[in-house]
């Protein structure tokens, strides 16, 4: 091989790959509008993105899998912890992560910034990104969720537990918050009646409890359902 042949290998290799890459880039721009629901990309979502960058969230958390690996991925955070769950963690991280071995700084966010961030995360969660991350994929439900979905048929309380913020503090099979105790075996020690009484007035049962009463949060029926569901966890 002469130096001239080598030069041509370099030139053809580079140009052919650049052509593929730039062509695909052009096409990607055309398709991203649909894949990322640009019609829903409002000014509020953009304001949320600015807040996300202002507080350097991305150097601890990944989003779409990129960033720091120190804290959970935020791509599907709305689907995972709900909008209330996000607000709670942003507003009082020292409470939310009091029992966690890893802490989140309190950035003293303005109310508006929290609302914008939630809008941003809601938009991100709907990006059509080939069903990543696997742990939030509805096709590959996590163990905790599989168990809950299996129970939802028999017990609507599981749905209440999942969607009404219980998991901000409590966990099942490792999914959920750490501020309150894990509830995997709660039914072994407490009956549905006892749990029902407890969630309505935690301090009445245990004066040292730090759990707020759920009476304003949930309807009477929901309280009964969630108590019945929890009592089945043994």
Length of the chain: 234
CB of 112 to other proteins, least distance (A): 18
CB of 134 to other proteins, least distance (A): 4
The number of angstroms, rounded, from the C-alpha of 130 to the middle of its chain's C-alpha atoms is 17
Site string for other proteins, 171-190 (x = CB under 8 A): x-xxxx-x------------
What whole-number distance in Å separates Cα of residue 172 and Cα of residue 67? 27
CB of 115 to other proteins, least distance (A): 18
**Structure token digits, residue 174:** 């490792």
**Structure token digits, residue 104:** 């989140």
Containing 66, the helix (H) or strand (E) segment is strand 66-67
Of residues 206, 149, 211, the one with CA closest to residue 177: 211
Phi first, then psi, for residue 78 (nearest 5°) are: -65, -45
CB of 52 to other proteins, least distance (A): 7
Tell me whether residue 147 or residue 205 sits nearer to other proteins (CB atom): 147
Tell me whether residue 52 or residue 198 sits nearer to other proteins (CB atom): 52
Q: Which stretch binds other proteins (CB under 8 A): 84-92, 111-119, 128-136, 224-232?
A: 128-136
Considering only residues 34-53, where is the footprint of other proteins by CB under 8 A? 35-36, 38, 41, 46, 49-50, 52-53
Considering only residues 202-231, where is the footprint of other proteins by CB under 8 A? none
Does 110 help bind other proteins (rule: CB under 8 A)? no
Considering only residues 149-168, where is the footprint of other proteins by CB under 8 A? none
**Structure token digits, residue 220:** 């009477």
Q: Which stretch binds other proteins (CB under 8 A): 89-97, 157-165, 205-213, 226-234?
A: 89-97
Does 125 help bind other proteins (rule: CB under 8 A)? no
Q: CB of 168 within 8 A of CB of 85?
A: yes
CA angle 152, 156, 162 (to 5 degrees): 75
- Angle, helices 43-54/111-125, rounded to nearest 10 degrees: 110
Tell me whether residue 40 or residue 215 sits nearer to other proteins (CB atom): 40
CA angle 105, 72, 213 (to 5 degrees): 70
Site string for other proteins, 57-76 (x = CB under 8 A): xxxx-xxxxxxxxxxxx---
Does 14 help bind other proteins (rule: CB under 8 A)? yes
């Amino acid at each position: 091989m002469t130096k001239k042949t080598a030069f041509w290998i370099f030139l053809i290799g580079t140009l052919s790959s650049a052509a593929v890459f730039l062509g695909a880039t052009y096409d990607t721009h055309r398709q991203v509008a649909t894949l990322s629901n640009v019609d829903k990309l409002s000014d509020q979502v953009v304001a949320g993105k600015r807040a996300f960058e202002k507080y350097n969230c991305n150097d601890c958390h990944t989003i779409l899998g990129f960033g720091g690996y120190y804290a959970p991925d935020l791509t599907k955070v709305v689907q995972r912890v709900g909008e209330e769950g996000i607000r709670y963690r942003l507003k009082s991280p020292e409470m939310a992560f009091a029992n966690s071995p890893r802490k989140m700084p309190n950035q003293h966010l303005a109310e508006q910034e929290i609302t914008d961030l939630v809008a941003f995360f809601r938009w991100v969660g709907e990006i059509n990104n080939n069903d990543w991350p696997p742990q939030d994929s509805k096709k590959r439900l996590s163990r905790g969720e599989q168990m809950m979905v299996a129970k939802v048929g028999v017990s609507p309380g599981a749905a209440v537990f999942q969607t009404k913020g219980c998991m901000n503090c409590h966990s099942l099979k490792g999914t959920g918050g750490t501020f309150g105790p894990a509830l995997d075996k709660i039914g072994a020690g407490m009956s549905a009646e006892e749990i029902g009484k407890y969630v309505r007035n935690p301090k009445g049962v245990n004066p040292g409890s730090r759990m707020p009463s759920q009476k304003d949060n949930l309807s009477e029926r929901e309280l009964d359902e969630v108590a019945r569901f929890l009592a089945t966890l043994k």
